[in-house]
Amino acid sequence: NAGVTQTPKFQVLKTGQSMTLQCAQDMNHEYMSWYRQDPGMGLRLIHYSVGAGITDQGEVPNGYNVSRSTTEDFPLRLLSAAPSQTSVYFCASSYAGPGQGSPLHFGNGTRLTVT
């Protein structure tokens, strides 16, 4: 049972480049989400999805796009990378979502540097 798998582990981009961070889970969880983690700040929600075909914005959505075509996959797209997007990105999933008290299961993160 792999849990939540994120790829790549590390990525370096130049300003203005675009890329997709991949996230897949094999636990049949309906809820999936993307967080970013920056030094001195708590994890902040970027986007989330409560099921296939349904996505919504978190607290820091600007510059990012998501889609959810299957239950298993929830990719995060950076449209035009900026140095402010240098961060560690975590994908997380749960059975019913934190609003129902369901704990999140996290991947091991993608460390992104934008130069």
Partner 1 sequence: EDQVTQSPEALRLQEGESSSLNCSYTVSGLRGLFWYRQDPGKGPEFLFTLYSAGEEKEKERLKATLTKKESFLHITAPKPEDSATYLCAVQATSFQKLVFGTGTRLLVSP
The rounded distance, in Å, linking the Cα atoms of 55 and 31 is 10
Number of residues interacting with partner 1: please give it, by CB under 8 A.
27
Identify whether 83 is preceded by a cis peptide bond (ω within 30 of 0): no
Work out the burial of residue 53: count CB atoms within 10 Å of its CB; fewer than 13 is exposed, 13-18 middle, 19 or more buried.
exposed
Q: How far is the CB of 18 from partner 1 (least distance, A)?
A: 24
Residue from the set 43, 63, 75, 77 that interacts with partner 1 by CB under 8 A: 43
Name the residue nearer to partner 1 (CB basis): 75 or 98.
98
Name the residue nearer to partner 1 (CB basis): 17 or 86.
86
Tell me the longest C-alpha to C-alpha distance in the chain: 40
- Locus of tokens 């296939």: 52
Residue from the set 13, 32, 81, 92 that interacts with partner 1 by CB under 8 A: 92
Residue from the set 21, 23, 107, 114 that interacts with partner 1 by CB under 8 A: 107
The rounded distance, in Å, linking the Cα atoms of 92 and 95 is 11
Query: Is residue 40 a contact point for partner 1 (CB under 8 A)?
Result: yes
Where does this chain bind partner 1 (CB under 8 A)?
4, 31, 33, 40-45, 48, 50, 56, 58-59, 90, 92, 97-99, 101, 103-109
